[in-house]
Each structure stands twice: as structure tokens, then as C-alpha cells.
Structure 1
């Protein structure tokens, strides 16, 4: 752990600058800034499930229509991620993340003036989707890959848990605002939260350890900062073109699509309105969803620790299997409006498993695809969001059609069993696809 004490001269370009011992490596401060940034951006993820009833009451839009806006948001969240990872290689992390936060703020703030459904699709679907996609888990993967060579699983778990921490902070607050002051002040709160993080990103976040004369955490040699990669969009598509020719990519993408369908698309979007259908107050249902965020932090950090020590495929198989079983029991738990002990057990159990899948999935991408792993994971994340978007939309359609959500819970439980089988057949060998581009 070293830190620069004098600037590089022209004759010193071949090696790292002089250094001295420091107590805490700068990488942990960068990870801390990234953690706070993801927390601030997580406000937008807390709001959609709270909008169904208020928007339906005010504008008389169907749940399918509102679910379509959430679906666009989720799809763009996923499709933007791999391009954002490449843009970070080209323009730097700070610029991409700061602009993304401002786009989120604009999209959320404009919703307060909307009067038609297409405006919801534009603001919450398009703008917030594009901004949030640049703040996706590819951001966490990029920070981890650049700043750490050790403890990557743990750091990935911490940064993934940041999103759950943001949900924990914002969901009860936003549900109270929606209940007592309507949905517009809640949308403004989301916009202000995104803007509040921008100064932290711009002033404190650094793109690469070489910017401050440091080795990555755990590295034995100084790593020069790579030159900006030209043609971000071309590189992203070229990486995809190579990755789709490999079997592991489809298994990772398919299983992660089911992950998104059973979390963001299903529980995060439809749990609150489903519980409200059975008489549970919105604030109580939102508080339960926030409790999922509490245990999500514990589960994701623990999963990162496990990923540094155990085989990621087996971890994923266990996570998906347990998630599927828990979803099969949920319809029986929602028949009463009270918050009873079995429901609390489900919330705790599901929370521990919510995004525990992320650290082992990123680890497999890194192991299989090397230096292009952040972009490959971005495409895998895109499949996650496509799965989430489909269920966000189809869940609303199912509720409009059948008057209940039971069929969606059961179908998602069965899909989780399929995901467990998919990850077990992934072969753990580096994939020679020739995707690394200079």
C-alpha cells in the first residue's frame, strides 16, 4: 500500500513514482464513494412500486400501462450498462456517472408535469432508464476491476448491497410522502437525491489507481493507466459479437434474466400492489420491502465473502433454488392483510437471497472473459433487465386479467429452478473469444 510523494519526471516514466506506506489504501475510499453514489441513485428504484395506485387513481391508467413504463425503464437500464462500461473506458468513470445522475434527476423531475401516459413512458421509462443504466452494476464491476486485485468478491458484494441500502433509506420515506403528500413530492425527492450525489462523484471519485500513483489494492506491481479506448460503441458491440458465440454467455445471460424476473420485475415492482390487494396498507407493504433491503445488504456482502472462497456455480445454484422455493409459498402468505411471522420469515429469507447472485456472476464473467469481463457482464446484466421488464409488464397484465398475482408467483418459482440447473452446467475455463481490443 503506497502513495506518491513526488511527481513523475520524464525519466521515471517506466516505473511507479516514489511512495510511502499508508494506513488505508485509497481503493477503499474510492469504493466508499461508489457506495454512496449507488445509494443516492437507488432512490429511483424505490419509487415505481409506489406509483401504481396513485397514478391509476389520478389518471385512470391500467396497471399494464404503468407496468409498460417500468418495463422500458428496466430494459434501458440493462441495455445501457454495457455501453456505459465502454464509455467509462473512453471518458472516465467520473464524467459518465455524473452525467447519468443528472439525467435521472431531469427524468424524475419532469414527471410532476405529465398529463398523458406517453409522458410517463418518456420521462420514467426513457430518461430515468438511460441514466440508471449508466449507474448499473457494470459501474461496480468497473470500479472493482480497476482498483482491486484482492477482495474483489467482497467489494462487489458491498457495492451491490449499496443499492439495497438506498432502497432501505428511501422506500419508507417515499411511501410516507406518497401516502401523505401524493406522488409528485416523492418524484421531486428522487430528483434531488440524484443531484445531491453529483458533487461527491466529481470531487472524490478517481478513474484509476495510476491517477494518484498507486498500485491496485493487493497488486504486487504498479499498473499504468491504459490509454482511452476509442470507439466505445463499436467495442461494446464487438465484445457482444464474440461473447454470443460461446455457450457460457448464454447460460449466464439466461440465468441472470430469471434473476431479474424474480426480483426487480416481480417482487420489487408488484409486491406492494399485491399486498395492498389483500388489504395491507401501502406503508406497511413498503416497509416490508425495505426490510428486504436490510437483509439484502447482509446477504450480498456475505455472498461476496463466499465468492472469494467457494465455487461460484454452486453458490448460484443454491441461491436460485432457495429463491424458487420461497416464491412458491408467497401466495399463501398474502391471503391476510396482517404482517404475521411467516411473512416476516419470507421477507428475511428472500432478502438474504435478493442480489446474492451478483458477486458469483461477476466472478464467473471475470474468470471466463478476462479484461473484457465488465462489458460482458454489462450484456449479462442487460438480460437481467429484459427478464425484469417482461415480468414487470406481464405481472400487471396478469393482475388486470385474473384479478390476482398468483400465477406470476408460481411461474417465477419454476423459472428459478431452471436457472439453478443452467448455472451448474457452465464450464469453468477461460473462453478464447478474441474479444480484447486495444
Structure 2
């Protein structure tokens, strides 16, 4: 007969090791969410001329709603990361998707610019920010120890894949059915992808008796004490005392300025200024999304194997070079040089995300998702500033040429930030 003491001395039974780790299911659900909710990012550039023609609003006025959207998208991210730790990923993501659906759907009733800012700027901005980089960083960090870079790259690329799915469809809807039909489709898509989150999303591997994929021991328990607001601000205060934070935030602000702020918002109207049909411009931007998927997944693979600062230096240098050539490539029809830009630029679009996330983990440990949320806030502030300024430049000068050259110059500054980051020792890790 086995005594109680003998039973206590027995080792705990090993954790289950299923053939398919559930982390891959969670990653797949996350990918579906990011693809299905990506339509909101496609819409502003597609609707700019339609809103201008119907309401007489200037490019600067419409761009201001995009600026509010991008700003809130970024500022919400660090708080969303803390909310996910405290209340769970499933609750935060479902609420975010329904907020996007509400904001997008209500735009069909608007008649004044402030309503566009409220619906598309505030509501969609808050909803999308709650599923920004913090979502991908939280999922890859909780469920994966091995392949973190690859998973981050795949989830980051999901947004581009969503643009690939939505962009041509939304462009055709805007042109043939009107912009109201397009925003209703976005609203329905955001609502639909909430279903797999409710059914399949799980919070942590431990909930299923699993370790993170590739892990050999239980990770430290998450910090969920205190309010999400207090924790997010505390992490910001501590991170802002370190040099790596400011170098990462500065370079990522330029990343946002030269992608979502400029190309994502103004590429289609810029192409239209040169006589190119809106549907052709939208198809080209969707093609950017195709190659972005390839580039970002490849970047995740590279991040698992190569120094992240070297990768960022390469990415920003190549992006700046491509933007300097863009003004000479536009025309009234698609020509090989512009197609070459789309391919080259697309490979680099958000390839910066996996190495930036990896550097946040290197310097800030467990607080990396929240720190990356603040770095992403800088990304979106940069994007918002340039989205608005580019609209003003278009109204003032009649074209976007100056903005492309300025964006190329900004990339040189980003390269400088990453060179400086290489000289910072990892002793700057924030351990609080």
C-alpha cells in the first residue's frame, strides 16, 4: 500500500505534448482576426476622392480624420497590452472588433467632417489600436518560446494580407456602388471575425496544461496587479529613462511616417493625380500587401537568426532609397518602373516589426509587449503627423512630390538611430 508521503515524493506527471501544439491554433485565430479587420486600413485612401466629390471636403480635412485614427491607434496599444494581461485577450479583442464595426457602420449616416473624425478617427482608431502590435506581441510571447520571430512576422503580415483581400474589392465597391457600401462591408467583416475569437481563443498554454511552444519550463507568472492604466504609465516612465527606448521609438516613428502615414494614406490619390484610375492605384497598393506578406514573414525568419539592429539598418536604408525615386515613376498607366517600386517597397513595408519587437524583448523583458505598445504609439504619431502634413502639402503645392523626398530623408535619420542602438549594451535592460 502506498503511503501519503510516498505519493507526495512522486514526480508530477509530465505535461501533455499534443501532436499539434494549441499555440498554432491560437496563432491561426489571431491571423484570421487581423486579416478580417484589416479593411479599415484600406478605406481612407480609397474614399478620399469620393468624400471630396460628395461633400466638398478638402484633402486636409479628410486627412485629419486619418490622423486622429492613426494617433489613437498608437496611443491605445500600450494600454491594450496591459488590459490583455488583466482581463484577457478574448474580451479585449472582441470589444475592439465590435468598436471597429460600430465606427465604420455609423459613417454611412455622416454629413459633417466632425462625424467622420468621431466615427473613423475616434471609434475605429480606438478599436484598431486595441489589436495593434500589442496583440501580435502578446500572442507570440505567451504561446511561443521557439519561433517567436517567425510568428510575429506572420501575424504582422496578416494585416497586409487583409489589405490584399479587401483593397481590390473595396475599390470596386467605392467606384461602382459608392463608399457607403464599402464601409458596411468593413463593418460586417469586423463583426464576423469576432466569432472564432469567442469559440477558439484561449488565454495561456497553462490553461490547457501546456508549456509555450519550444519551452522546457514554466514561464514566470504574468504581472496582473494594479490597474492597466497605472501599469502602462509605470512601464513608460521606467522605459523612458533608457536610451534604447528613445532610439526604438524615434526610428519606429519614422517607420510609421513613411508607411501608413504617407504611402498607405496618400499613394492612391497621388497616383490619381497623375491620371491613374483609382482601381489601378488600389490594385498596386494591394500588390504592396502581397510582397509585404513575403517580406515580413522572411523578416521574422531573419530575426530568429541575425542581429536585429543590422536588419533595421538595411530595411530603412532601402526604404528611403525607393521613396526618393517614386515621384519620377508615377504616370497615367502602369509601367514596369512603378511595378518594380511596388515590389521592392512592399518587401520592406512592415519588415521592421519583427526585429523591433525582438529588441523590445531584449531590452525590456516581461514588459516588452507594453513597451512595444509605446514604441508603436510613436509609430502612429509619426504616421498621423505625416498623413495630415501630406494632405496640407497636396492642397498647397498641387502634388505630393515634396512629401516623397522628405520621407526619403527621414529614413536616413532612422538609419542613424539604429546605428546608435548597436552601440548600446544590453546592460540597459529594464528589470523593474
**TM value normalised by structure 1:** 0.94
* 1:174 corresponding residue in structure 2: 170
2:403 and 2:429 map into 1 onto residues whose CA distance is 39
* 2:81 corresponding residue in structure 1: 85
- C-alpha contact 2:16 2:209 (8 A) present in aligned 1: no
Q: 1:163 aligns with which of 159, 164, 170?
A: 159
- The answer to whether structure 1 residue 125 and structure 2 residue 114 are counterparts is no
1:406 and 1:64 map into 2 onto residues whose CA distance is 16
Distance 1:17 1:393, change over 3 A: farther
1:17 and 1:347 map into 2 onto residues whose CA distance is 54
* 1:370 corresponding residue in structure 2: 365
- C-alpha contact 1:17 1:213 (8 A) present in aligned 2: no
Structure 1 unaligned residues grouped into runs of 5+: 1-10
After superposition, where does 1:30-429 map in structure 2 within 5 Å? Answer: 30-223=26-219, 226=222, 228-334=224-330, 336-426=331-421, 427-429=424-426
Q: Post-superposition shift, 1:15?
A: 8.7
- C-alpha contact 2:292 2:347 (8 A) present in aligned 1: yes
Q: Post-superposition shift, 1:434?
A: 4.4
2:223 and 2:384 map into 1 onto residues whose CA distance is 36
Structure 2 unaligned residues grouped into runs of 5+: 1-6
- C-alpha contact 2:365 2:430 (8 A) present in aligned 1: no
1:23 and 1:199 map into 2 onto residues whose CA distance is 25
In angstroms, what is the RMSD of aligned CA positions? 1.5
1:124 and 1:252 map into 2 onto residues whose CA distance is 28
* 2:3 corresponding residue in structure 1: none
2:420 and 2:223 map into 1 onto residues whose CA distance is 37
> Per-residue displacement from partner, 1:368-396 (whole Å, max 9, x unpaired)?
00000100000000000000001100000
1:17 and 1:207 map into 2 onto residues whose CA distance is 23
Q: Post-superposition shift, 1:424?
A: 1.4
1:416 and 1:227 map into 2 onto residues whose CA distance is 36
> Per-residue displacement from partner, 1:182-232 (whole Å, max 9, x unpaired)?
100000001000000111111111111011110000100134754643311
1:210 and 1:24 map into 2 onto residues whose CA distance is 16
2:229 and 2:356 map into 1 onto residues whose CA distance is 24
1:236 and 1:89 map into 2 onto residues whose CA distance is 11
1:374 and 1:124 map into 2 onto residues whose CA distance is 26
Distance 1:434 1:222, change over 3 A: closer
**TM value normalised by structure 2:** 0.96
Q: Secondary structure at the match of 1:47?
A: helix
1:15 and 1:48 map into 2 onto residues whose CA distance is 59
Distance 1:342 1:110, change over 3 A: same
2:14 and 2:415 map into 1 onto residues whose CA distance is 50
Q: Secondary structure at the match of 1:221?
A: coil
214-223 or 343-352, larger mean C-alpha shift? 214-223
Q: Secondary structure at the match of 2:271?
A: helix
* 1:5 corresponding residue in structure 2: none
